[in-house]
Structure 1
Amino acid sequence: MSISPGPSNLYILARTMSDGHRSGVAAAGGMAIGSLIYVLLTALGLAAIFRYSPTAYTVLKLCGAAYLIFLGIQTIRASGAGNTSKPKVRIMGMSKVFKQSIVVELTNPKTALFFLAFLPQFVDPQLGQVALQLVILGLLYAILAFSSDLLVVLLSHNLGKWLSSHPLFIRWQDRVAGAILIGLGSYIAWQEFIQK
C-alpha cells in the first residue's frame, strides 16, 4: 500500500527531483513522522470520530487537496524564469521540507483511510491492549513506508540527476513538479465533489 502512487510519494518525488536527495530524505522523514502521529491518534480513538462523522473526514480530504494545490503553486512560482545558465539554488531548506511533509502526510486521504479504517481490522480485541496492538502495527507500517519512500528518493534522485543534464528539463522540472501537486490536489477535491 505504501508503494502505490499517492500524495506522499508524489511529494517526495517532486522534492527529490527539484531539490536533490537530501530534500527527498527530509520529505520521507516528515512522512514517517506524519504516519506516527496517525498511529497515536488512531490508538487514542480518532478512528471512531471519523467513522461516525463523515463530514470531519471530508474536511480533512479537502484541506489536504487545498494544501497540495498551495504547494504546487509555490513550487511553480519559485521556478522563476527557468534560467539554466546559473547553478540551481536550493529552493527549500530541509526543515521546511520536513514540516511540509508532515502536513502532506496528515492531510493525505490515503493515509487517513489506512490508519482509520484498514489498520483497526487487524487488531484482535480478545488479545487485549487494543491501543498497544494499534501502535505496534502502525510502527511496522511506518517503517515499511519509510523504506519504500527512501526507494522513491533513490530512484528519483538518479533519474533527476540524469534529467538535469538536459537544459530543457532544468527549465521545466519545477513547473512540472508543481503541476503534479496541483493536479493531485485538484483530483482529490474533484473526487470528493463527484461522490456527493
Structure 2
Amino acid sequence: MDFHVWLTYLAACIVISVSPGAGAVNTMSNAISYGRRRAIASILGLQGGLIVNTLLVGVGLGALIAASATAFMLIKFAGVAYLIWLGVQKWRAPVNYAVSTHDVEPPPAGRLFWQAVIVNITNPKAIVFLVALFPQFLDPQRAQLPQVLILGATLVGVDIIVMCGYATLAGALRRFVQDARRMRLQNRIFGSLFVGAGLLLASVRRQGA
C-alpha cells in the first residue's frame, strides 16, 4: 500500500470516527455516569466489535452479509432492539449521587466492555461501510491480508483516539450533573440518544436494495 493511499484512508477514518454514532453516545454516557477511567472499558469494547467486523470483511463474510437481505435484516434489527433497550435502561436509571463519591460501585468494567462490543457488532451499517471502503484502498497486485491488517489497525487506532476525546469532553462535564435534577436530565438525554441511534439504524438500507 502506497503511503499517499494510506494518508487518504487515514483522513476517511478520522471523518468516520468523529461523526457521532451509537459508539460515541455509549462512550459519553459512560464517561459522564462513571468517569473517564471507567469509560476506557467501553472504548476497548467498541474496538473489539470493530475488530470483529473488520475480520468478517477480511474473510469475505462481510460481503455476504451486505448482499444477503435476510442476514442484513436480522443483524440490523438485533442492533435496533439492543440500542433501544439500552436507551430505556438509561432513561429509567436511578439517580444516585453515590456513584460520584465512590460509595457505590459502578457497573463492572467487563459489563461495560461487552455492552460496547455488542453495540458495534450489531451495527450492519459498519460492516456495509467497511465492505464499501476497503476495496477502494486495497491494491489487488499485493498480498491482501497485510493490507487488511493495516487498514483495520488504522481504523481502530483512530477510533480509540477519537473516543478518548469524547470521553474526556464528557468527563469534564461530569461535575456539572452531580445533583438529582441534572443527573435525571442527563440519563434521559442519553437514553433518548440511544433510542434515536436505534431508530436511525432501523432506517439503514442494504446497498442495492
TM-score of the pair, normalised by structure 2: 0.81
For the Cα contact (< 8 Å) 1:8–1:31, is it kept in 2? Answer: yes
- Of 167, 183, 186, the residue aligned with 1:173 is 186
- Of 16, 30, 41, the residue aligned with 1:15 is 30
* Whole-angstrom CA distance in 1 between matches of 2:146 and 2:132: 17
* Residue aligning to 1:183: 196
SS of the residue corresponding to residue 2 of structure 1 reads helix
For the Cα contact (< 8 Å) 1:27–1:101, is it kept in 2? Answer: yes
Alignment map for 1:46-195 (pairs within 5 Å): 46-77=61-92, 79-80=93-94, 82=95, 86-88=97-99, 89-127=104-142, 129-161=143-175, 163-191=176-204
* Whole-angstrom CA distance in 1 between matches of 2:124 and 2:34: 25
Gaps of 5+ in 1: none
Aligned residues: 189
SS of the residue corresponding to residue 125 of structure 1 reads coil
Change (3 A) 1:109 1:168: same
Gaps of 5+ in 2: 1-15
Task: Tell me the alpha carbon deviations over residues 151-193 of structure 1, each in whole angstroms, 9 at most, x when there is no partner.
Answer: 11111100122x224542123222322222122212322455x
SS of the residue corresponding to residue 18 of structure 2 reads coil
For the Cα contact (< 8 Å) 2:41–2:110, is it kept in 1? Answer: yes
Amino acid at match of 1:171: R
SS of the residue corresponding to residue 155 of structure 2 reads helix
Amino acid at match of 2:58: A
Give the CA deviation at 1:91. Answer: 4.4
Give the CA deviation at 1:64. Answer: 0.9
For the Cα contact (< 8 Å) 1:46–1:116, is it kept in 2? Answer: no
* Whole-angstrom CA distance in 1 between matches of 2:48 and 2:38: 15
Superposition CA RMSD, Å: 2.3
Amino acid at match of 2:161: S
Change (3 A) 1:138 1:7: same
User: What is the percent sequence identity of the aligned residues?
Assistant: 31
* Whole-angstrom CA distance in 2 between matches of 1:146 and 1:25: 9
SS of the residue corresponding to residue 126 of structure 1 reads coil
* Whole-angstrom CA distance in 1 between matches of 2:68 and 2:125: 17
* Whole-angstrom CA distance in 1 between matches of 2:36 and 2:90: 17
